[in-house]
Amino acid sequence: MSRTHSHLLLLGLGLTAACSSDIALIEERDHLVVSPQVADAGLVALGQTTEVMLQLDALSSFDIPVRAIDVLNIEGEFFSFDQEMPLVPGDSGMSIPISYTPTELGYHQARITVVSDSKDPEIEVYVRGASRDASVSVWPVVMDFGVVEEGASSETPFHILNDGNVPLELLGSTFSNEAYTGEFVPGAILKPGDQWTVDIVYSAVSEEAATGTLDVDFNVTGLATTATLRGNDCENGTPAAYDVDGDGYTSCSGDCDDNDETAHPGGVEVADGADQDCDGIIDEGTNAYDDDGDGYTEDEGDCNDGDETVNPGATEDMNNGKDDDCDGVTDYGGDDIDGDGYAADAGDCDDTDDTVFPGATELPDGIDNDCDTTVDEGTVDYDDDGDGMTETAGDCDDTDDTIYKGRPEFADWKDNDCDGIVDETTTNYDDDGDGYSERGGDCDDTDKNIGPATLEVKGDGIDNDCDGVTS
C-alpha cells in the first residue's frame, strides 16, 4: 500500500482562514528511484563473493520504508540480499549490496524487485556478473641463494603470473625470516595475463644456514602462494646452487672458492697467488713457493726447491757432487755429466738426463725423475689415491679414492663419477626439477607436481604437499 500525505493549499488571494470553504486538499505521494537499471559485478572468481551496489534515492521530503527486496535468479542461486530492509531518508539516498557468489562458471543475472511505500510500489532492476577460473603461477618455488658471506647480500627475481581469467588483488606478503626482503604493494591489481617480477634479497647476518618461506596472498580464497627460501644451507640445499662453478664440488664438500672452477679439493696448484687445491696453502709445489723452506723459491733462483741445502745463498761444498749455490757449476766443474746440478755420487740416478736428479719435479714420462724409485707419482699418469684409475684414464680428482670415472654416485656433495653433476640419483639431488630433493622433503622426486611447496589438490588421493596427509 502507498502512503498518502495531505497538504493545505490556498485557492484564492486575500482569503482569511475563516473562509474554510475556499480551502482544498490535494494528495501528494512519495517517489523512490532505484539505479542503475542494470548493475554489473564484472568478472568474479569461482566460489568468491563480491557485492553489486544498488542506489536508492527518495525524491520526497519524507522517509520511504522498503518493505521487501526480492531476488529472482535467472539461473542458479548466485545473487542474494540478506540484510535488513532499509529506510530511505527523505530528500536523500543510500546504497544497498546485492551479493554475488558464483559456484558455476559462466554468465549470470538476476531480477531485483524493490517493494516500498512509494508512487511506484514495485521497481525492477537487474544485476549481472560472470564467473571465471582464478589461477596464479609463481617461480621459482624454491629460491636457493647459495653461499653468501656474512654482511653481504644476494638477490633472485621472483615471478608471479596471473594465468587465470579474473583480476587478482594482492592482499599482502609475509617473509618468515627477516633476512629476506622484497617489495610487494598491497592493493595492486594483477590483470589476467600480466606478470610481476619482484627481486627477493637475502642479506646474510652470518654464515649459518638461513631458511624461510615467502607467502603471497590474493583476494581469492585458496590462491595464496608459498615459496621456500634458502641461503648458506648447503646440507639441505640444491647441489647446483652450491657448485656454482661446476667443478664437481660444493661448498659443503670443501670447495674453498665456488666461483673458480680451478679451485677445489685436489685441484692443481699454479703460481697465481690462489689456493687451487683448497688445503689452505697458496702456490705450494710451484715455482712461486718455497717448497723446501730454505728461503728461496724457484722463481728466486732456487735450482732445486726439493733440497733445503741447495739455493742461491748456500756455500758450495766442493766435494758433495751438488751445485749447492745454484751458480751452474757442480763442485770443481766435473762429474755432473748432464749439467742438472747433481753428479751420480750426489744421487743422480741418470746423469745422462737433465730432467732426472734428486728433488726434480716428477713428469708423466714413465721415468723416475726425482730418483725416489717411484715412477710418475703426482702426475696425471699415476694413480695417486690408489683407486685404480689415473687422471689420464678419467679420474677427475686423484687425491680422493671415492672419486673416479664410472664410480657409483653417493650423497656426499661430490661428483663421484666424474660426469660433471654432483649427487645425481641420490637423495641430495632434485631429480624432478621442482626445487626439492628427497633430503629436502620431496616425498616423490619423480613428479614435479609433488613437493613441499605444492598446493594440495582436494580429492585426488595424493599427498601433493608432502605433509603426510592426503585429501
Domain ranges of the chain: 32-132, 136-231
- For the beta carbon of residue 297, count every other beta carbon within 10 angstroms: 19
Average pLDDT over residues 368-374: 96
pLDDT band at 98 (very low <50, low <70, confident <90, very high): very high
Check whether 8 has a pLDDT greater than 90: no
Average pLDDT over residues 280-298: 94
Check whether 23 has a pLDDT greater than 90: no
Average pLDDT over residues 131-149: 91
- Rounded CA-CA distance 425/430 in Å is 8
- DSSP state, residue 20: G
Residues 6+ apart with CB under 8 A from 442: 430, 432, 434, 436, 450, 451, 452, 466
Q: What is the DSSP string of 242-302?
A: G-TT-SSB-GGGT-S-TT-TT-STTPPP-SSSS-TT-SS-SSTTSTTS-TTSSS--TTTT-
Check whether 3 has a pLDDT greater than 70: no
Residue 360 and residue 346 in contact, taking contact as beta carbons nearer than 8 Å: no
Say what the pTM is.
0.63
Question: Is 35 or 259 the better-scoring residue by pLDDT?
Answer: 35
Residue 274: C-alpha distances to residues 140, 266, 385 (Å): 35, 14, 24
Average pLDDT over residues 188-208: 96
- The hierarchical CATH code for the domain 136-231 is 2.60.40.10
Residue 407 and residue 395 in contact, taking contact as beta carbons nearer than 8 Å: no
Average pLDDT over residues 159-179: 95
Residue the block writes with cell 707419482: 377
Closest CA to 251 of 223, 221, 284, 209: 209
Average pLDDT over residues 425-433: 91
Query: What average pLDDT does the chain have?
Result: 90
Residues 6+ apart with CB under 8 A from 200: 143, 155, 156, 157, 158, 180, 181, 182, 214, 229
Average pLDDT over residues 366-390: 95
What confidence score (pLDDT) does residue 244 get? Answer: 87
What confidence score (pLDDT) does residue 30 get? Answer: 76
Check whether 122 has a pLDDT greater than 90: yes
- Grid cell locating 17: 482562514
Average pLDDT over residues 394-412: 94
Check whether 22 has a pLDDT greater than 60: no
What confidence score (pLDDT) does residue 332 get? Answer: 84
Q: Is 27 helix (H, G, I), strand (E, B) or coil?
A: strand
Residues 6+ apart with CB under 8 A from 468: none
CATH domain 32-132 topology: Immunoglobulin-like (2.60.40)
Check whether 228 has a pLDDT greater than 60: yes
Average pLDDT over residues 165-193: 95
Check whether 240 has a pLDDT greater than 90: no
Check whether 2 has a pLDDT greater than 70: no
Q: What are phi and psi of 52, to 5 degrees?
A: -105, 125
Exposed (0-12), middle (13-18) or buried (19+): which is 265, by Cβ within 10 Å?
Answer: buried
Average pLDDT over residues 335-345: 92
Check whether 307 has a pLDDT greater than 60: yes
As a whole-number percent, the residues of the chain with pLDDT over 70 amount to 94
Closest CA to 91 of 66, 123, 56, 121: 56
Check whether 12 has a pLDDT greater than 70: no
- Rounded CA-CA distance 261/232 in Å is 19
Average pLDDT over residues 325-346: 91
Question: Is 239 or 186 the better-scoring residue by pLDDT?
Answer: 186
Residue 176 and residue 197 in contact, taking contact as beta carbons nearer than 8 Å: no
Do the domains at 32-132 and 136-231 have one common CATH topology? Answer: yes
Signed CA dihedral, 60, 62, 63, 66: sign only:
negative
